[in-house]
A and B are shown apart, each in its own frame.
Chain A
């Protein structure tokens, strides 16, 4: 039993988030009389929230670095507009437009990253400027009108399904993929466990491991079954899974990911440890730009048109998702999975509240309260567990005017950097 307690203590925040998501799902499943978890609705949920999920992953990186990006909604619109014009007016093929769009997004990210990382203008200001610049640019490109319709091959990105291998009542490929990916998940966990044990590291008990593996397999396969009953896996679903896997891997187990956490956790210490802090920040913004472009393509494809108002308020949804998912405003804390769970919490609430016929006015207010409650809970937890973080008060609240009441005598002045 102590093993379970250890596990929970170590990952209280992570489990807390998943539990909250489950609670919200159960709540709306009951309130909507079972509508929420219908196969059709689940597919809808994925498609409706795909672009916010993509943005939330990037936003999590930006927030971990200790910055913010307010321009993503405008970039979504701008890149969408640009691609629509390339596809319809210029008649370029989809295979050329998609990479061009991603490159445009990356360049916009590089532009903003340059001002933030090298000129050291606060990201809030740089991206606020970007929000206005690219919204304006969108209107210029579109001439104030919607551009569409789009080629079918691009529309598949937003609303298409992965085609099946055989013609059957259920989507066989989906079931197959579900089984395969659950097997892969369990296998990779098993390999990590064997490796750790090989190095003499403590591992969780065998029973606990298999219990978790079984739970993973059940959840993944159940999910696959639900999708298979409907039309199978949406194309964008595959894209999302790939993004989640890749970004989780980068953030958890690569040097680059570790540097991102270090820059956000303590920039000076990171610099003195040989981390190229400015480069790291710059590349995070480039990544965010490219992901915004991807979200722009997906959104445009789903709408089957590029519109001047596309992506409005997306930045706030992405930021809210990251904070609900456990990011810290001070930087240095957060996970990709957290961002995904945070975005799903928002998405399920949106969807559920719409299903029970709650007006948009109420929806906004309730989402705001949930965001506030999630972060308040987080801060309450942090202050309760363990000693306070000594010396460093990066919350920004009331730090300035405090008298140095009980600090050790005669500290040498910190060298100005």
Chain B
């Protein structure tokens, strides 16, 4: 048994309305690579924010012991002083500054406020050697690829004499070579006595690099497995990750799928700014009228990117692929054409992409369908008010009237407004991206009812969700996605959490 560098005991953390962590315990041995696994929303990132002091001592319950002594971090500086550094998924580098300047940002090699450039560049060179980055420290970070930027982040952490390095999904934005290099580096650092906690969704890399695996689910520790004892298998991890309770009831529904309404064939999309990154790779799927089809995938699988790209090429650079509606090919080059062809997309990020928060419910609801309440470009205000109020009632938005600002509504009601906006365009196909995220249980149930009534009207629904029980409870069929590819298609009667999770985590499984 290695001695313990970090122990977290019975950690609990609550946000208004949500229990993110209930009872998490984590023991990390000195000099190991410790993998932390779990579905989206299992509490991994929250736990790491507690550990690194982003959520200061006192805002959570439970105890943190570093080297056996209790620790009370009031901020990131405290945790860094204790030798703990976290590298977030979104890198925190200043692109215009050089590698060396970034490494010592906030920690400058300086004397009385004057930077000692000799020391800065000399030490930076040494650190870059340690992380295996063959670049001059004076190169601006913006000239580096994402993989190299990640190495700069690690060098930055090393410059602070880190003993425990936390990496939050470090490989999610990397291509395969860069990922392999990064994992090799972790092993090398382990040899130098640096402990690492690795959050990842990729089973392959976990089994390759991790010494110990802790699985979280719904804010609790499920189990901790030791690779050396041979008990870490992909099956075992999957079983630990899923098995989330079917705690929300899903309304009963009789499904009567009709003819194929909408098909996407071989859809391929590149990242908008990174040249070599394929985000969606040859994805094909179909939706029938009256059918609710699920799209499962872990973070970074490319589900949102796929959906937005299909919806009038509103994401990334379109490479290839075709769309068919009712068997006939259609060309959709922008959002207004998508709307004209009866497609609606309810985005995942309501506030950023879905709503005009300063504007009232009325203006939000009618924005995408103004042609329905106007003639020759002139809006009929009375008709607009009536139709908007009608939509508000049907969606059961809880508000005084349609003249309340959308920004003042609760999350569930905001989501209903966004749904109402797309109902207003009377679409044939609805793409719903995480429609119940951050919404309380009661509102969730109402949204399920709305989705089902849409299917009953013969519309096709494509439901993107990170909650497997939701997909299993609601959908007729579920596609799984990983790394930009469709990895499987599972009909309702064969859909269970383990099957889906396996398809969501394997690189390229044969369908079914």
Nearest to B345 among chain A residues (CB) is A272
A401 vs chain B, min Cβ distance (A): 10
Q: How far is the CB of B39 from chain A (nearest CB, A)?
A: 9
Q: Is the CB of B353 within 8 A of A416?
A: no
Q: Chain B 17-40, CB within 8 Å of chain A: the 1/0 string?
A: 010100000000000000000001
Find chain A residues with CB under 8 A from B273 CB: 416
A195, A254, A387, A410 — which one has the most chain B CB atoms within 10 A of its CB? Answer: A410
- Given contacts A272-B347, A332-B356, A410 and B15 within 8 Å (CB-CB): no
Judged by a CB distance under 8 angstroms, whether A88 is at the interface is: no
Contacts A254-B378, A254-B379 hold; do A10 and B403 have CB atoms under 8 A apart?
Answer: yes
Is A365 an interface residue, CB under 8 A from the partner?
A: no
Q: Which of A253, A270, A404, A414 contacts B352 (CB 8 A)?
A: A414
**A275 beta carbon closer than 8 Å to chain B:** yes
Once A256-B377, A408-B18, A416-B272 are accepted as A-B contacts, the answer to whether A274 and B339 lie under 8 Å apart by CB is yes
Given contacts A272-B347, A410-B45, A416-B273, contact A404 B54 (CB under 8 A): yes
Give Cα A273–Cα B334 distance, bound, in whole angstroms.
Answer: 10
Q: Determine whether B367 belongs to the interface, using a CB cutoff of 8 Å to chain A.
A: yes
- Total interface residues on A, using CB and 8 Å? 50
Residue contact A255 to B347, C-beta cutoff 8 Å: no
A266 partner, pick from B20, B55, B355, B377, beta carbons under 8 A: B355
A39 is an interface residue with CB less than 8 A from chain B? no
Q: Verify B359–A412 contact, CB threshold 8 A.
A: no
Cβ 8 A contact of A392, one of B76, B352, B381, B386: B352
Whether A389 and B357, one on each chain, are in contact in the complex, defined by CB atoms closer than 8 angstroms, is yes
A265 at the interface (CB under 8 A from B): yes
* Contact present for B15 and A266 (CB under 8 Å): no
A201 adjacent to chain B (CB < 8 Å): yes
**Do B363 and A390 have beta carbons less than 8 Å apart?**
no
Closest residue of chain B to A328, judged by CB? Answer: B358
| Closest Cβ–Cβ distance, residue B55 to chain A (whole Å) | 8
The answer to whether B407 touches A413 (Cβ under 8 A) is no
B382 at the interface (CB under 8 A from A): yes
A20 and B41 alpha carbons, distance in the complex (Å): 51
State whether the Cβ of A391 lies closer than 8 Å to any Cβ in chain B: yes
Which B residues between 376 and 391 are near A, CB-CB below 8 angstroms? 377-379, 381-383, 385-386, 389
Q: Which of A349-406 contact B (CB under 8 A)?
A: 386-387, 389-392, 403-406
B38 to chain A, nearest CB (A): 9
Complex Cα spacing A268 to B40, Å: 25
Q: Among A253, A254, A269, which residue has its beta carbon within 8 angstroms of that of B356?
A: A269
* Contacts known (A272-B345, A409-B20, A409-B43); A415 close to B305, Cβ less than 8 A: yes
Say whether B392 faces chain A, with CB atoms less than 8 Å apart.
Answer: no
**B357 and A274 within 8 A (CB):** no
Q: Please name all residues of chain A whose beta carbon is closer than 8 Å to the beta carbon of B363 when the two chains form the complex.
A: 258, 261-262
Within 8 Å CB of A274, what residues of B? 312, 335-336, 338-339, 368
Closest to A382 in B: B358
Q: Is B214 an interface residue (CB 8 A)?
A: no
* Of listed A255, A268, A271, A403, residue having the most chain B CB within 10 A: A255
The answer to whether A196 and B354 touch (CB under 8 A), given A254-B377, A413-B90, is: no
Q: With A10-B403, A269-B356, A416-B273 in contact, is A201–B385 under 8 Å at CB?
A: yes
Question: Min CB distance, A68 to chain B, in Å?
Answer: 19
User: Which chain A residues lie closer than 8 Å to B352 at the CB level?
Assistant: 266, 268-269, 391-392, 414
CB within 8 A of A413: which of B89, B371, B385, B421? B89
- Cβ of A34 within 8 Å of any chain B Cβ, yes or no, is no
Whether the Cβ atoms of A408 and B359 lie closer than 8 Å is: no
User: How many angstroms between the C-alpha atoms of A414 and B299 in the bound complex?
Assistant: 11
Q: Is A198 an interface residue (CB 8 A)?
A: yes
Interface residues on B, range: 35 or more
- Given contacts A255-B379, A413-B90, A415-B305, are A272 and B354 in contact (CB under 8 A)? yes
Contacts of A262 in B (CB 8 A): 356, 359, 363, 367
Instruction: Tell me the B22-70 residues at the A interface (CB within 8 Å).
Output: 40-46, 54-55
Asked if A412 and B304 make an inter-chain contact with CB atoms under 8 angstroms apart, the answer reads: yes
B409 CB, nearest partner CB in chain A, Å: 10
Query: Contacts A253-B381, A275-B367; is A415 near B356 (CB within 8 Å)?
Result: no
**A255→B371 contact, CB < 8 A:** yes
Q: Is the CB of B421 within 8 A of A273?
A: yes
Interface set, chain B 1-28, CB cutoff 8 A to A: 15, 18, 20
Complex CA gap A268/B353 in Å reads 6
Q: Which residues of A contact B357 (CB under 8 A)?
A: 265-266, 389-390, 392
Determine whether the beta carbon of A261 is less than 8 Å from that of B359.
yes
Q: Which residues of A lie under 8 Å from residue B421 when comparing CB positions?
A: 273
Q: Are B353 and A269 in contact (CB under 8 A)?
A: yes
B-chain residues with CB within 8 Å of residue A273 when the two chains form the complex: 335, 339, 367-368, 421
B377 touches A409 (CB 8 A): no
Report Cα–Cα, A409/B218, bound state, in Å: 12
Residues of B within 8 A of A390 (CB): 351, 357, 407
CA distance A392 to B349 in the complex (A): 12
Q: Is B174 in contact with chain A by the CB < 8 A criterion?
A: no
Closest A residue to B418 by beta carbon equals A269
B251 interface hit (Cβ, 8 Å): no
Task: Please give me the residue from chain A that is nearest to B298 by CB atom.
Answer: A412
How far, in Å, is A381 (CB) from chain B's closest CB?
13
- Cα-based distance from A411 to B374 in the complex (angstroms): 38
Is there an interface contact between B15 and A409, defined as CB atoms closer than 8 Å? yes
Give the CA-CA distance A153 to B379 in the complex, in Å.
Answer: 38
Is there contact, CB below 8 Å, between B359 and A265?
A: yes
User: What residues of chain B lie closer than 8 Å to A276, measured between beta carbons?
Assistant: 334, 336
CB atoms of B355 and A269 under 8 A apart: yes
A253-B379 contact, Cβ under 8 Å, with A261-B363, A271-B335: yes
Q: Tell me, yes or no, whether A199 is within 8 Å of chain B by CB.
A: yes
> In the complex, which residue of chain B has the Cβ closest to the Cβ of A386?
B408
Query: Could you tell me which residues of chain B, from 296 to 315, have a CB within 8 Å of some CB in chain A?
Result: 299-300, 304-305, 308, 311-312, 314-315
Question: CB of B434 within 8 A of chain A?
Answer: yes
Q: CA of A386 to CA of B408 in the docked complex: distance in angstroms?
A: 7
A261 to B401, CA, bound (A): 21
Contact of A410 among B46, B271, B405 (CB under 8 A): B46
Interface presence of B438 (CB below 8 A): yes
**CB-based contact B351/A391 at 8 Å:** yes
In the bound complex, do residue B367 and residue A199 qualify as a contact, i.e. CB atoms below 8 Å apart? no
Q: A: which residues have CB within 8 A of B?
A: 10, 192, 195-196, 198-202, 252-256, 258, 261-262, 265-266, 268-276, 328, 332-333, 386-387, 389-392, 403-406, 408-410, 412-417
Contact sample, A vs B, 9 pairs, CB 8 Å cutoff: A258-B370, A262-B356, A265-B357, A268-B352, A272-B311, A272-B353, A273-B335, A392-B351, A412-B434
9 smallest beta-carbon distances between A and B, as pairs? A265-B356, A274-B336, A273-B368, A409-B46, A391-B351, A409-B20, A195-B382, A274-B339, A199-B386
- Given contact pairs A258-B370, A410-B42, enumerate 9 new A-B contacts (beta carbons under 8 Å): A255-B374, A265-B359, A272-B335, A274-B335, A332-B359, A389-B407, A409-B45, A412-B299, A417-B315
